[in-house]
Amino acid sequence: EERLLKKVRRKIRNKQSAQDSRRRKKEYLDGLESRAAACSALNQELRKKVQELEKSNGSLLRQLQALIKETSTKPAQTGTCVLV
Residue at 24 is within a domain: yes
Residue 81: predicted pLDDT: 65
Q: How far is residue 56's CA from residue 63's CA, in Å, rounded to a whole number? A: 11
Is 49 domain-assigned?
A: yes
> How many whole angstroms separate alpha carbon 49 and alpha carbon 54?
9
Q: Answer yes or no: is pLDDT of 53 > 90.
A: yes
Q: Which amino acid is at 44?
A: Q
Is residue 83 a part of any domain in this protein? Answer: no
With 0-12 / 13-18 / 19 or more C-beta atoms within 10 angstroms meaning exposed / middle / buried, residue 6 is exposed
Position 76 pLDDT exceeds 70: no
Does residue 82 form part of some domain? no
Residue of 29, 33, 10, 9 whose CA lies nearest to 21: 29
Whether 46 shows a pLDDT value over 80: the answer reads: yes
Does some domain include residue 34? Answer: yes
Residue 84 lies in a domain: no
Q: For residue 64, what are the domain limits? A: 1-72
pLDDT at 78: 64
The length of the chain, given as a count of residues: 84
Q: Has residue 77 been placed in a domain? A: no
pTM for the structure as a whole: 0.60
* Residue 55 maps to a domain: yes
Structural domain count of the chain: 1
User: What percent of the chain stands above pLDDT 70?
Assistant: 87
